[in-house]
Amino acid sequence: MDEFLPKMKNLLSLLCIIISALFLPYVTYGQYEVSKSASGQHGMVVSPHPLATKVGLEILKGGGNAYDAGIAIEFALAVCFPVAGNIGGGGFGLYRTSAGEVLSLDYRERAPSQASTKMYLDAKGQVMDSLSRLGALAVGVPGTVKGMEQLHRKLGKLPWATLLQPAINLASDGFALTVIDSDLMFNHAQKFKQVNAWPTPFVKQQGRRWRMGDTLKQPMLAKTLRTIQENGSAGFYEGWVAASIVTEMKRHNGLISTEDLKSYKAIWRDPIKFDYQAPTDTTYRIYSMAPPSSGGIILNQVLGMLNHIPKSDWLANKDNHLWRIQQLVETERLAYADRSEYLGDPDFFQIPVRQLLDKSYLKSRFAHAHVGPAINSLKVGPGLGNHKMVRQPNAGSQPKEHDETTHYTVVDGQGNALCTTTTLNGAFGSKLVVEGSGILLNNEMDDFSANPGSPNSYGLIGGVANAIEPRKRMLSSMSPTIITRLVPSPKGSTEMLAFTVGTPGGSTIPTSVLQVILGLTVDGLSPAEAVAKPRYHHQWFPDQILSEYNSIIPERATELGKLGYTIKLIEKIGRVEAIKVSEGGLLIGGADPRGDDSAAGY
Ligand code: GLY
């Protein structure tokens, strides 16, 4: 009963938020009015925090393009959304220009040069989880500031200084906490105290509890942001800010050196690109993130497998929830098995991308729609052979962190689109805050396979492809995705911008993005409906369907149980943001009702 009541309370509050999001134009969170759905002709911003959405919209209204707005949002989130927004972490951005070029930027963290394959193993070869999750040894070399500078140099229009100013104002003047922010900070107070030798801004003094409406000021972070405003990325990777990071590392036996910071580079990569023929007969071109994220490959594999199911099956089973769940779960199981063996940093490991995405491979991997008993994960594995990874006995452990990572997306009136997922990894990353510069540092090192075959904090297992090596990027699941509609034209076909989608959620990111894509393209849902719809997820191991409380109805759960599926209930999966560009050019934003996420357009 003690456990049951809070769960019921959570379920009821989630249901209320989802229902209100679908039927009310906005919800009030303390002093913030949060719109879950918005439309406009000239610009659309969807982000996880109302203040960041406001910053993005003001940049657009002030003459900035989608990329300018994205840069200003990224820095604003580092202040007003410290659980995941960051300058001490990293991310991936997908960008489509109004001319139709699609680019992707990898500003993922990388391992310090002193990192080593066995750095998290004890004398018996067992992973010491806490070292890769909490404190200085968990921190990868941050990529965000270099990423933003690269983006600004290539696609930005307004001056760099203009884009930093809103974040500086938020950090120095302070801002009012929402109930979600205040609960999160209070819940992590002990860990902040455990890790830091100084009173960080995130712990309220005299053991008091943060309340909604309290003001959070971050004067040290404001000073750091001013330095970045004046000196660009050198203001972070060199000079006094870099020195403060290295001092913090030395104080806590961390590994990041002056040289690690100075030599960090963000990398432009070719996105994963594939066509998806929806059963509605529209063909969509999907662009998502390539390795070192697994997101694009998982999406391409799952949709590539589903594309071999006859259209008539999809149409006949449109409302057959059981059929749909089985197709998704079984294709996800196969894609995550491949992920575990073949994916890692492409600059360190030769990833068989062509073979993994080959249409005949995907057809043979999932030959028919799956009906009947559940497939046992022990009986399927990576599909290309040559397995090097041995699954460790504890590989069935549960995901442990959920409030991690964040996503925002912008489309401007010219048709430029930005879709960015950025992260500290776990909630507030390593919880280590740099004294003097106020930077919250990531715990992204936990995304490596600390011991190939053993699970990380998401329960994900990985192979040697994702083993720790100096300067290597850890495998991610982040899946910022841009979708165009192929319209027949005299030249063959023309691409029209159709949707942007992305979410936080660790290992559940690609499957949340997938379900929202299906909602938008197959089921004809609006962005607000598609992002609100309850979700479920399978990742090969643990061999279970992770399901939001209201996602799989009890009757369906019983049917799935009879077929041999195990269902594990979870309060929330992801916080998806999506924008639709209608055929007439109207921009429609949908913000996830699971958080403070908000959409605004004009
Ligand atoms: N840290 C979560 C991810 O990169 O997928």
Q: Find the helix or strand (DSSP H, E) in which 579 lies.
A: strand 577-581
Q: Quick check: is 298 in a domain?
A: yes
- Top pLDDT among 206 and 104 is at 104
DSSP single-letter state for residue 313: H
Sequence-distant (≥ 6) Cβ neighbours of residue 124 within 8 angstroms: none
Q: How far apart are CA 77 and CA 321, in angstroms?
A: 37
Distance 478 CA to ligand 1 centre (A): 6
Return the closest-CA partner of residue 47 out of 71, 15, 14.
71
Domain count, the chain: 1
Q: Encoding tokens for residue 333?
A: 């199981």
Distance 495 CA to ligand 1 centre (A): 30
* Residue located nearest, by CA, to atom 4 of ligand 1: 476
Distance 569 CA to ligand 1 centre (A): 21
Distance 302 CA to ligand 1 centre (A): 19
Distance 1 CA to ligand 1 centre (A): 34
Q: What is the best residue among 423, 449, 503, 539 to mutate for testing ligand 1's pocket, by most ligand atoms within 8 Å of CB?
A: 423
Q: What is the best residue among 509, 513, 539, 575 to mutate for testing ligand 1's pocket, by most ligand atoms within 8 Å of CB?
A: 509
Domain limits at 520?
A: 269-400+479-601
In terms of Cβ atoms closer than 10 Å to its own Cβ (0-12, 13-18, 19+), residue 172 is middle
Q: Quick check: is 511 in a domain?
A: yes
pLDDT, position 392: 55
pLDDT at 387 over 70: no
User: What residue type is 524 in one-letter code?
Assistant: G
Distance 508 CA to ligand 1 centre (A): 10
User: What residue type is 259 in one-letter code?
Assistant: E
Highest mean pLDDT among 369-383, 413-427, 442-456: 413-427
**Residue among 405, 422, 481, 503 flagged as catalytic:** 405
DSSP assignment of 162-207 equals HHHHHHHHHHHH-EEPPHHHHHHHHHTHHHHHHH-SS--TTS-GGG
* Residue located nearest, by CA, to atom 1 of ligand 1: 425
What band does 5 get if pLDDT is binned at 50, 70 and 90?
very low
**Coil, helix or strand at residue 43:** strand
Q: How far apart are CA 472 and CA 474, in angstroms?
A: 6
Q: What is the best residue among 476, 479, 539, 573 to mutate for testing ligand 1's pocket, by most ligand atoms within 8 Å of CB?
A: 476
The label of the residue with tokens 């680019």 reads 103
Distance 173 CA to ligand 1 centre (A): 31
Q: How far apart are CA 85 and CA 176, in angstroms?
A: 16
Q: Quick check: is 304 in a domain?
A: yes
Q: How far apart are CA 255 and CA 113, in angstroms?
A: 8
Return the closest-CA partner of residue 84 out of 52, 38, 115.
52
Q: How far apart are CA 486 and CA 478, in angstroms?
A: 25
pLDDT, position 317: 80
pLDDT in tens, 299-321: 999 999 999 999 988 888 876 68
CA angle centred on 83, ends 82 and 87, rounded to 5°: 50
Q: Encoding tokens for residue 476?
A: 């991610």
Q: Quick check: is 582 in a domain?
A: yes
The label of the residue with tokens 């884009």 reads 163
Return the closest-CA partner of residue 94 out of 458, 358, 484.
484
Q: How far apart are CA 330 and CA 339, in angstroms?
A: 14
pLDDT in tens, 477-521: 999 999 999 999 888 899 999 999 999 999 999 999 999 999 999
Residues in contact with ligand 1 by the CB-under-6-Å rule are 404-405, 423, 425, 447, 476-478, 506, 509
Q: How far apart are CA 76 and CA 331, in angstroms?
A: 38
Q: Quick check: is 59 in a domain?
A: no
Q: Quick check: is 422 in a domain?
A: no
Beta pairing partners, 455: 461
Q: Quick check: is 498 in a domain?
A: yes
Sequence-distant (≥ 6) Cβ neighbours of residue 447 within 8 angstroms: 425, 456, 466, 474, 475, 476
CA of 426, closest atom in ligand 1: 1
User: Stretch 589-595: mean pLDDT, rounded?
Assistant: 96
User: Is 420 an annotated catalytic residue?
Assistant: no
Q: Find the helix or strand (DSSP H, E) in which 151 lies.
A: helix 144-155
pLDDT in tens, 28-48: 666 798 999 999 999 999 999
DSSP H helical ranges for 196-273 = 219-231, 234-237, 239-251, 258-262
The answer to whether 69 touches 45, Cβ cutoff 8 Å, is yes
User: Which percentage of the chain shows pLDDT scores above 90?
Assistant: 82
Distance 147 CA to ligand 1 centre (A): 16
* Residue located nearest, by CA, to atom 2 of ligand 1: 506
Pairing of strands 175-176, 492-502: unpaired
User: Which percentage of the chain shows pLDDT scores above 70?
Assistant: 92
Q: How far apart are CA 148 and CA 151, in angstroms?
A: 5
Q: What is the best residue among 106, 133, 443, 478 to mutate for testing ligand 1's pocket, by most ligand atoms within 8 Å of CB?
A: 478
Q: Quick check: is 19 in a domain?
A: no
Of 28-37, 132-141, 406-415, 553-562, the one with minimum mean pLDDT is: 28-37
What band does 14 get if pLDDT is binned at 50, 70 and 90?
low
CATH number of the structural domain spanning residue 330 = 1.10.246.130
Q: How far apart are CA 422 and CA 88, in angstroms?
A: 10
pLDDT, position 2: 40
* Residue located nearest, by CA, to atom 3 of ligand 1: 476
Distance 559 CA to ligand 1 centre (A): 33
User: Stretch 450-476: mean pLDDT, rounded?
Assistant: 86
Sequence-distant (≥ 6) Cβ neighbours of residue 66 within 8 angstroms: 43, 60, 95, 410, 411, 412, 416, 417, 418
pTM score, whole prediction:
0.94
